[in-house]
Chain A
Amino acid sequence: MENLIALLVAAPLLGAAVLLCGGRRLDRGGHWIGTLLAVVSFAVGVLLFTDMLGKDPEHRAMHQALFSWIPVEGFQADVAFQLDQLSMTFVLLITGVGSLIHVYSIGYMEHDERRRRFFGYLNLFLAAMLLLVIADNYLLLYVGWEGVGLASYLLIGFWQHKPSAATAAKKAFLVNRVGDMGLSIAIMLMFTTFGTFAFGPVLESTSETSEGMLTAIGLMLLLAACGKSAQVPLQSWLGDAMEGPTPVSALIHAATMVTAGVYLITRSGAIFNGAPDAQLAVVIVGAVTLLFGAIVGCAKDDIKKALAGSTMSQIGYMILAAGLGPIGYAFAIMHLVTHGFFKAGLFLGAGSVMHGMNDEVDMRKYGGLRKYMPVTFVTFGLGYLAIIGFPGLSGFWSKDKIIEAAFAYDDGIRGWIFGGVALLGAGITAFYMTRVMIMTFFGEKRWQPDAEGNEPHPHESPRSMTIPMIVLAFGSVFAGGLFSLNESFVKWLEPVTQFEHPHPVISVPAITASTVVVLLLGAALAYVMYGRKEVPVTAPRGSLLTRAARRDLLQDDFNHVVLVRGGEHLTRSLVYVDHTMVDGAVNGTAAGFGGLSGRLRKVQNGFARSYAVSMFGGTAILIAATLLMRAV
């Protein structure tokens, strides 16, 4: 059974190779190959899962060593896989949602002439993402980490004829490099500290390592997670990444890749457990991001960018939970999975809306769409209820637990602060999601013919698109409850992540009650603002905060002023130093030697007598020096 693990990666990798190297003759049927191989990978995952369920919880982890990758004296890196409960969870999420999105893309990308390439990239992404979660050492994980970055870059810029898409891809790539640098530094620190990269030895020997080193490694891992998971301060790329085709946004930039940072932190739990300062940093990053994303999400009129803000915010929840240590890991992953369902569903719904609206993304030009696309409306609506944490649906179970755990950070003021932020975030979530819901599906229709006179004719999407949405809606409704039944999800992960019951500063029922109240308040506010009044087609000027939030809370302005300008000044001054001081020193030295040479060659006057004198003098010096050496 263990020998099947490699097949998880091999199947989509084969698909990528075949589709990307196969050429035009695969244009007609290539998407079926890609989808089939994604499903094969899912089937293997399910097979391994059933096998794993049959085993004793403490002995469920499976290993497969493929070959020795870099066999050097004192430096050992293997291509080996480890499939434990944590990896298994990710495998099922990635292959499951991945397969659904492959199916969805068959319909969504039907008219794109580069569809074969698209499926090739999707398969490449699956392979890299699976490699990331089943690698048994950090170096191989890094390969997957870079692989998903590459696939993300290729897919964001898939419509490279659009300058905005090309720029967005470049931006995502560059911002991610900053995070990647953190991961590579963390790996180097691990190697110098532990002498190995393998999860087992590294994570078992953290107790013998100094807290300072663990903090350093932890902070570098956090930097990596910030890049990949779009957390403050490396969040700026995610909104622009919505330039990619919507299935990509659903799979990569909502359900799977952007959660890699949560995986990294949870996987490295032993390191963070030994470094409270690094954990605090993780919690702060999560708390800041969950508010940041939520506020941005409130102001966006582009449906995908509103959802992107929401994604950022929800991952902020997960990062916050992961920073809480053993009381939070399981809930971080649980929220990650439920979020995978409902956010993928929401994005697919958004894609379905765009499909019917001539690729219009401005929600101010939607309105009243529930009559035209009922399936989309219902599935999107269930996703909406799930994400705001409506009692009984998936999001409720996972988010409520995170809020509880946040209140349990400590007994003092920090518990109140982090708990309060998480609670406030829930209210804002309800507000912006209700806003999206109302602007899209309720009210009067607001669309008009475009400049060429083409009026959109909203219609329901084809079956290949609606079926994945329906499946995901089921997940959005039932997954959370199923996981919470008898604490089954927590118990499933416990052998890997450990678990402690949180002890919040206020009682659990009170937290749950206030969560519900807060979300009702948020939803009601949105209803008052957007449901009771006509939504203007052109956005009003808005308050200062609104305008800032529309500009992503000035993140790009900040980056431009501080990093771009600063970088330009730095390079200019370095060029100046290079021209004047470095070149000056080099040219000066050269000129000095040239002058010396010109003077010394005059000694060579061509007269044998002078040469003889030189020899005589030289001999005298030689003798004198020899005698002097003896005398000293």
Chain B
Amino acid sequence: MSASAVHSLWTTAAPIDKIDAPTIEYAQLMPTLIVIGAAVVGILVEAFVGRKARYYAQMFVTVVALVSAFAAVIGLAAGGHASSEAQIVAMGAIAVDGPALFLQGTILLTGLVAVFTFAERRLDPEAHGNRVDSFAAQAASVPGSDSEKAAIKAGFTTTEVFPLALFAIGGMLVFPAANDLLTLFIALEVFSLPLYLLCALARRKRLMSQEAAVKYFLLGAFSSAFLLFGVALVYGYAGTVTYAGIADVVDGTVQNIDPALADTMGNDALLLVGGAMILMGLLFKVGAVPFHMWTPDVYQGAPTPVTGFMAAATKVAAFGALLRLLYVVLPGLRWDWRPVMWGVAIVTMLIGAIVAITQTDIKRLLAYSSIAHAGFLLAGVVAATPSGISSVLFYLGAYSFVTVGAFAVVTLVRDAGGEATHLSKWAGLGRRSPLVAAVFAVFLLAFAGIPLTSGFSGKFAVFKAAAEGGAGALVVIGVISSAIAAFFYIRVIVLMFFSEPKAEGPTVAVPSPLTMTAIGVGVAVTLVLGVAPQYFLDLAGQAGVFVR
């Protein structure tokens, strides 16, 4: 490689007179700042507040932070930052525009509802007179050891889950708004690391939980490495990591071409390989086939409230980032990535739906269901039209509440060993607890995309966008997959309502108002978006324009 081929930025060290202070638009970044700030406060709470009061203090900090961050999002949207005032802030690192604010709002609301399920303390039987939640008494103690027993006896609980969740939410808020590849990578790590930890914190079946966390961590690190390498290759091609800059080079509309850039920008292999690797990192997070294999194991092993949170919020954030990458950075490569994404969408829909048929554990079933839904969402992404963006946004909003609600219901069905997740134990649930079974049936119908539920509105929107975008075949396969998927959703309903209850079946615990709120919000959103979706479709339609 000749000297001139090396990028000037690396080699020419300009004389440093002074460093300009970066201009940071604090107001536009307020949602993220509030959440991250509250997470730091949460750490301080852990350090300085007594054990007894920590739970309440953490709850207070978390809920206040999420609510005020959501208020900030609404304020920004009302101030026109979602449309006319959309801009790129923080020295080009963060975009504040319609999709970013819409997804941030969705993540914050989903996070809030999920935090309610984190805080549930009435489901597990009291340990030595202390109310406990779904999380390990002391994460550092070896499962089954004396120290664990001592921690349980002392009534410890892992209140660190609240700041961890806040950190994860903070990262997720940045992820779909990230406007350069480095910010994208950092946001990914910021939300992934707390999730790895959260996965390991189950109070029951701790070994399984830890196994899940290790698998998730290993595979997550593996995929992050790919993504980072992809970032490096793309930088090597374009000489910049900002989305707009890369897009200019890809389109050939770049203004100043220095010799180094002129040399690399002709090398499309760098771009294509790098782009594919970045895509792979994002597809891992959304759980698309063949990068999905962590999903069932992790969903099953993680504490159920964390599973619900992860399944909903991660998907929202990751699809947001994927949309921005494909629509802002790589629209010039449309003819290269669309066929590939077609294939990914098809196998994701089909494999998710088909493998779910033979699952016997409700959490694994929902994991495969989430894979199939990732496929449906990819069908909307592939549309490569404005309606593709807005339909995916709507679908994410609809899907996340159903998911959190469904996993919240899973936490209620328990036997002596904790949650009774094996499907055979759900037989006849409708006879014993008609209300819980009916609510779960509503969620299942929404997953299946039956009309009058949000699932139908969302699926209709993405399929319509895909068909308009010229992906008719994809829609056909999507509908076939939906039919296959309907089988296992309906099978659970049949099992709950038309099978004889088992003599030693599980009991349905009566939750506190926290979980009831989570489930209630899920049902309400499911029905409202199913019966009267137009307002929200319009909202997603208005939000569906990326700033560049």
Contacts and interface: CB of A to CB of B under 8 A. Distances in A.
Q: Do A and B associate with each other?
A: yes
Interface of A: 590, 593-594, 596-598, 600-601, 603-604, 606, 608, 610-612, 614-615, 617-619, 621-623, 625-627, 629-630
Contacts of A617: 290
B277 A619 contact: yes
Interface of B: 214-215, 218-219, 222-223, 226, 268-269, 272-273, 275-277, 279-280, 284, 289-291, 293-294, 296-297, 335-337, 339-340, 343-344, 351, 354-359, 484, 487
Given A594-B357, A625-B343, A615 B276 contact: no
Nearest to B335: A629
B355 A600 contact: yes
A610 B289 CA distance: 14
Contact of A622 (B276, B296, B351, B357): B276
* CB-CB nearest 9 A-B residue pairs: A618-B290, A611-B293, A597-B357, A597-B358, A623-B276, A626-B276, A619-B280, A608-B215, A622-B276
Contact of B354 (A596, A611, A618): A596
A608 B217 CA distance: 10
B219 A612 contact: yes
A600 B268 CA distance: 36
B222 A612 contact: yes
Contacts of A611: 215, 219, 293-294
B487 A590 contact: yes
B214 A627 contact: no
Contacts of B484: 593
B355 A625 contact: no
Nearest to A595: B358
Contacts of B344: 622
A619 B214 CA distance: 22
A601 B215 contact: no
A629 B271 CA distance: 13
A595 to B, nearest CB: 9
A615 B337 contact: no
27 contacts: A590-B487, A593-B354, A597-B355, A601-B355, A603-B293, A611-B215, A611-B219, A611-B293, A611-B294, A612-B218, A612-B219, A614-B291, A614-B293, A615-B223, A615-B284, A615-B290, A615-B291, A618-B291, A619-B276, A622-B279, A622-B280, A625-B340, A626-B275, A626-B336, A627-B272, A629-B340, A630-B336
A597 B360 CA distance: 12
Given A615-B291, A619-B226, A626-B337, A608 B276 contact: no
A626 B226 contact: no
Given A598-B358, A618-B290, A630-B268, 10 more contacts: A594-B357, A597-B354, A597-B355, A600-B355, A611-B293, A611-B294, A615-B284, A627-B272, A629-B335, A630-B272
Contact of B340 (A594, A600, A626): A626
Nearest to B336: A629
Contacts of A619: 226, 276-277, 280, 291
Contacts of A608: 214-215, 218-219
A430 B484 CA distance: 73
A594 B488 CA distance: 11
Contacts of A597: 354-358
Contacts of B357: 593-594, 597
Contacts of B297: 604, 606
B214 A629 contact: no
Given A623-B273, A623-B276, A630-B268, A601 B358 contact: yes
B236 to A, nearest CB: 15
Contacts of B337: 626
**Interface hub of B269, B273, B276, B293 (most chain A Cβ within 10 A):** B293
Contacts of B214: 608
B384 to A, nearest CB: 14
Contacts of A614: 290-291, 293
B273 A604 contact: no
Contacts of B487: 590, 593
A204 to B, nearest CB: 43
Contacts of B272: 623, 626-627, 630
Nearest to B356: A597
A377 to B, nearest CB: 70
A84 B349 CA distance: 65
B448 to A, nearest CB: 16
A615 B279 CA distance: 12
Contacts of A601: 355, 358-359
A260 to B, nearest CB: 42
B371 to A, nearest CB: 11
A600 B294 contact: no
Contact of B339 (A593, A596, A623, A625): A625
Nearest to A598: B358
A593 B352 CA distance: 12
A623 B272 CA distance: 7
A600 B484 CA distance: 15
Which of A598, A617, A621, A625 neighbours the largest number of chain B CB atoms within 10 Å of its CB? A625
A627 B337 CA distance: 10
Nearest to A632: B339
A618 B356 CA distance: 21
Nearest to A622: B276
Central interface residue in B215, B218, B351, B354, by most chain A CB within 10 Å? B354
A184 B436 CA distance: 49
Q: Which of A612, A617, A623 is the most central at the interface, judged by chain B CB atoms within 10 Å of its CB?
A: A623
Contacts of B279: 622
Contacts of A604: 293, 296-297, 355
A608 B280 CA distance: 18
A600 B368 CA distance: 12
Nearest to B484: A593
Contacts of B276: 619, 622-623, 626
Contacts of B280: 615, 618-619, 622
Nearest to B280: A619
Most B-side CB within 10 Å, residue of A590, A596, A608: A608
Nearest to A616: B222
Contacts of B293: 603-604, 610-611, 614-615
